[in-house]
Amino acid sequence: MATVESTRLALNSFQGVAGYPLIGQNLIAHLRSNLNIRVPIQNVPGLTGNLEEAALFVKGRHAFADGSFGHYHLQITAAGGAKTSTDAEAELFKKIPDIDQFNVLRQASAQDVVITIRGIGEMETQNPASSVRLDAEVDEYGVQRAFVSLAASVRDGELWDAMDRAAEDVALLFAGGRDYEVLAGGTSFPVAAGQPASSVIAAVRRRDGLGTTHHEAGALWMGDDPAMSVTDPTGKFQNVQNAYAIGPAILPRTGSPNPMLSGIALARRLADRLGTPTPYVAEAGFRALFDGIHMTNWQMAGLGRFIVVDGALEAVPDPSGELGLLWSTDKTPADFVLRLEWLRWQQNDNSGVFVRFPDPTSKVYNNQAWVGVNFGFEIQIDEFGWPDQAGIHKTGAIYAQPNQNLSLQPAHPPGQWNEFEIRTKGQTYTVSLNGTPVTSFQNQDPARGLATTLQSSSYIGLQVHPPSPSESANAGRVAFRKIRIAPI
């Protein structure tokens, strides 16, 4: 389904783009047959006592007249049981069988072995009869649906025949030169020693329909030549900027194994290619406190946590409602300018930036996040101004400090980045929001906001704020990036 829907999306999205007619061609899946046989336990040398589930994987290939090869494999599973057993996977894929089935297995004597020989073969590439195209019918959103055509070519039929013959040869090996049974449709067909399974049931009757494997692939195949492939070797659409495909759809050929694992590997490769982060480098004169990747110089105090998402530190409040503080272990200059960007997802998201507080671990607090509150100052992030909408509780203000000159400015809407510039010189604190001054504050408390000296250090931190009463659980989700500092 992923291949079909990815191709449908590309067909609906890139009409008029060079190479568009290639999209949806080269649809491939797998040929599949199932041969189920039952042989007496004595036919299989070395089997004694209790029998457990067994599985085997056998690879094969067929040489075509032109010297090329088609590939297939046989998935073989076997289980011992009574003479009426018909399931070669009685215990396979079952971590805990149901109690009734468990009792059946306990009481059954392994008189026979049921063996399933499942053949999986690759399909020919670039078959004009196999493709995905847009249908005239539209879905409930008015978007054209996909029409899928999947047909076996002459070469596919030849490979399928060869694969079925190989399965019959393996069945004869398990029969050990003795009579055996072919199981199909709830019926047992006796087969004389040395005779192929097709002597009692034609090979075509043992075949699954095309597409029933759900292994569709190839319709957005990758290659080096834009004129001969839909995507390039990285999965990027050949003639489209910044658009990529992932999964089995980009495989030019699948072989016989399930293409999903290859598709996952290609998706991971693309994620590594696109998602490899570039460390943030601050502008001249500034030092980055967070490079967008590593948190080695940050430490958590209190509850909640921060995670790194797309080069930013994103706050995750603790469900208990306790405050948290992520603080940089790099001591700040005595006087400094701090610049950073922050983003909120909801209008009522709440957080803050703390400056000039001592090492939280130096105080004996049950929750050391409160060291920043009691000994430093918070530059508030809260458009609502909880609990009373007072200016000293709103974005850009020095939180809860009455003696400041406020000129409040609205933050950008949720989902957009804002920038703070925070300056500390002596005991004067100034804050700008998105380039516009918001407040100027003169600290009069000798126990708070102490600058770094030779004897003691001060730090900056980011708040994890729990939801306030009546607020949703997301009310503390705020992200920070481009955090840098410079001495004044």
Q: Read off the CATH number of the domain in which 450 is found.
A: 2.60.120.560
Task: Decide if pLDDT at 344 tops 70.
Answer: yes
At 109, the pLDDT band (50, 70, 90 cuts) reads low
Task: Decide if pLDDT at 108 tops 80.
Answer: no
pLDDT digits (tens, 9 = 90+) for 416-440: 999 999 999 999 999 999 999 999 9
Task: Decide if pLDDT at 51 tops 80.
Answer: no
pLDDT for the residue 305 = 97
245 and 336 both lie in a single domain: no
**Which residue, 86, 77, 124, 123, is CA-closest to 104?**
86
> Where does a domain end: 272, 303, 332?
272
pLDDT for the residue 52 = 60
Written as six digits, the tokens of 411 are: 């933050």
244 and 373 both lie in a single domain: no
- Determine, yes or no, domain membership for 280: no
- Determine, yes or no, domain membership for 278: no
247 and 326 both lie in a single domain: no
At 342, the pLDDT band (50, 70, 90 cuts) reads very high
306 and 262 both lie in a single domain: no
- Determine, yes or no, domain membership for 32: yes
pLDDT for the residue 381 = 98
Phi, psi dihedral angles at 248 (to 5 degrees): -60, -15
- What Cα–Cα distance (Å) separates residue 413 from each residue in 310, 416, 434, 458, 479? 20, 6, 12, 32, 14
> Where does a domain end: 272, 295, 326?
272
211 and 296 both lie in a single domain: no
Average pLDDT over residues 96-122: 72
Instruction: Name the average pLDDT for the chain.
Output: 92
pLDDT for the residue 272 = 85
Which one has a higher pLDDT value, 438 or 40?
438
232 and 164 both lie in a single domain: yes
pLDDT digits (tens, 9 = 90+) for 52-101: 657 789 999 999 999 999 999 999 988 876 665 667 666 665 555 566 65
Provide the domain limits for residue 336.
287-487
- Determine, yes or no, domain membership for 63: yes
300 and 434 both lie in a single domain: yes
CB 340 within 8 A of CB 419: yes
- Determine, yes or no, domain membership for 405: yes
pLDDT digits (tens, 9 = 90+) for 472-483: 555 689 999 999
- Determine, yes or no, domain membership for 277: no
pLDDT for the residue 110 = 66
∠ CA 89-94-96, nearest 5°, is: 140
367 and 234 both lie in a single domain: no
pLDDT digits (tens, 9 = 90+) for 320-330: 889 999 999 99
Rg (CA), the chain: 34
> Where does a domain end: 218, 240, 272?
272
265 and 307 both lie in a single domain: no
- Determine, yes or no, domain membership for 193: yes
CB 399 within 8 A of CB 352: yes
At 48, the pLDDT band (50, 70, 90 cuts) reads low
In the chain, the number of structural domains is: 2
Q: Distance (Å, rounded) from C-alpha 83 to C-alpha 357?
A: 80
pLDDT digits (tens, 9 = 90+) for 190-228: 999 999 999 999 999 999 999 998 899 999 999 999 999
- Determine, yes or no, domain membership for 281: no
Average pLDDT over residues 34-49: 81
374 and 466 both lie in a single domain: yes
% of the chain beyond a pLDDT of 70: 91
Which amino acid is residue 80, in one-letter code? G
244 and 294 both lie in a single domain: no
Task: Decide if pLDDT at 157 tops 60.
Answer: yes
Task: Decide if pLDDT at 34 tops 70.
Answer: yes
308 and 243 both lie in a single domain: no
